[in-house]
Amino acid sequence: MVTRYKITTLTEFIIQRQSEYPHAKGALTRLLNDIATAAKIVNREINAAGLVDILGAAGQDNIQGEAQKKLDVFANEMFITALKGGGECCAIASEENEKVISFKNEFSELGKYVIAIDPLDGSSNIDANVSIGTIFSIYRRKSEHGGGTQEDLLQPGINLVAAGYIIYGSSTMLVYTTGKGVNGFTLDPSVGIFCLSHPDMKFPEKANIYSINEGNYIYFPDGVKKYIKHCQENDPESYRPYTSRYIGSLVSDFHRNLIKGGVFLYPGTAKNPNGKLRLLYECNPIAYIAEQAGGKASDGFRRILEIQPETLHQRSPFFTGPRWMVEKVEEYMREFSPEERKS
Ligand code: AHM
Ligand code: MG
């Protein structure tokens, strides 16, 4: 008997999912397609980066005072162009722009959605040919008409409609959720189509990786220091000692931990009490995916998705992975670093 394999493309998949919402008019479907199209173009540029002379700083700093790379600039412009032209989105908050970009034109003013995006995360790794990513989150706007506003974007993660990331790695994948599980699609570069390759992704039950920039150890809160010791103790029943893996590229570290089972930690430190990662376009979308994959995401004390953002670029300590691993981190934080707790 001949075995038949059905290839499901990303476009087919999101259209199938749309039919589960009888009142949906296809706006979210079109928005996700716009993101996928921009991602393919960004992917093409990243793949060509070693060939053409595009590497190196673009000569300007982003608003966090970090040197921007040319590919950051390119990716930012690409996603903005695709989303503005698509007409479903009325405002974007991007890691690369200080203020909200509000679309006031005939295409987008009526768009129902706003997007927070990190167009190229982990970009300090580009020169070393290490996997990098795009992280996006989609909210329904709060304002009723006109261009989208900052208030439309300052929503807690529990209001997310969809979130996802693209990982530009040994293969390029788009992973996303609309709140009904997490699905991963691998780009077939020969035809330029994302194909369903990782349906219904879940953290594996057996997990034994911890990912943290241990070079900052002396600055970590005591709870995190004690947790690291816990990871290194011998207890085969709980798969310890764990393996340490850290790329320094959030999407890549998270993606590996999702597939292989592991916890990611980026704590606050004495110098930077809120850590490094940005709540709106790094922590929230990854937290939503983590929860949908059966995991958890916390700042050590609070559920990430319940934090009310005050500013666009605010940072948060970030711990995410399988539920039981994150709960262990929280236990250590409560016991050894109670002074870190925020209101
Ligand atoms: P970026 O947005 O400037 O690229 O920085 C975010 C990146 C994350 O991808 C990664 O998890 C983290 O920075 C690594 O930071 P560090 O080098 O301090 O370990
Ligand atoms: Mg980033």
Ligand 1 atom closest to 266 (CA): 11
- Strands in 193-198's sheet, in edge-to-edge order, are 101-102, 89-94, 113-121, 132-140, 160-168, 172-177, 182-188, 193-198
Question: Please, what are the domains in the chain?
Answer: 10-198 (3.30.540.10), 209-342 (3.40.190.80)
Token readout for 84 is 């503005």
Give the chain's end-to-end CA distance (angstroms, integer).
Answer: 63
Q: In Å, what is the CA distance from 81 to each residue of 26, 27, 77, 91, 168? A: 20, 17, 6, 12, 20
pTM score, two decimals? 0.94
Which ligand is located closest to the Cα atom of residue 282? 2
Q: Whose CA is nearest to atom 14 of ligand 1?
A: 248
The reply to whether ligand 1 has any atom less than 6 angstroms from the CB of 276 is yes
* Nearest in space to 10 (alpha carbons), one of 30, 131, 259: 30
Q: Which residues pair with 183 in a beta bridge?
A: 176
pLDDT of the residue at 215:
96
If you measure from the C-alpha of residue 172 to the centroid of ligand 1, how many angstroms do you get, rounded to a whole number? 20
Q: In Å, what is the CA distance from 120 to each residue of 58, 79, 131, 267, 312? A: 14, 10, 11, 22, 17
- Which portions of the chain are predicted below pLDDT 70? 1-4, 22-23, 50-69, 105-109, 342-343
- 66 Cβ contact partners less than 8 Å away, ≥ 6 residues apart: 124
pLDDT of the residue at 131:
94
The reply to whether ligand 1 has any atom less than 6 angstroms from the CB of 150 is no
pLDDT of the residue at 279:
98
C-alpha span between 228 and 215 (Å, rounded): 12
Ligand 1 atom closest to 249 (CA): 9
Q: Whose CA is nearest to atom 7 of ligand 1?
A: 122
If you measure from the C-alpha of residue 175 to the centroid of ligand 1, how many angstroms do you get, rounded to a whole number? 20
3-state secondary structure of 138: strand
pLDDT of the residue at 127:
80
The burial of 163, by beta-carbon neighbours within 10 Å (0-12 exposed, 13-18 middle, 19 or more buried), is given as: buried
Ligand 1 atom closest to 277 (CA): 6
If you measure from the C-alpha of residue 22 to the centroid of ligand 2, how many angstroms do you get, rounded to a whole number? 36
Q: Which residues pair with 321 in a beta bridge?
A: 296
pLDDT of the residue at 186:
98
If you measure from the C-alpha of residue 120 to the centroid of ligand 2, how many angstroms do you get, rounded to a whole number? 7
DSSP string, 197-256: EE-S----S---EEE--GGGGGGS-HHHHHHHHHHHS-BGGGTBSPEE---S-HHHHHHH
pLDDT of the residue at 56:
53
Which ligand is located closest to the Cα atom of residue 94? 2
- What letter represents residue 322's amino acid? P
pLDDT of the residue at 52:
55
pLDDT of the residue at 106:
65
The reply to whether ligand 1 has any atom less than 6 angstroms from the CB of 248 is yes
The reply to whether ligand 1 has any atom less than 6 angstroms from the CB of 72 is no
**β-strand pairing of 160-168 with 172-177:** antiparallel
Indicate the angle between helix axes 250-260 and 284-292, nearest 10 degrees.
10
pLDDT of the residue at 123:
84
pLDDT of the residue at 145:
83
**β-strand pairing of 172-177 with 182-188:** antiparallel
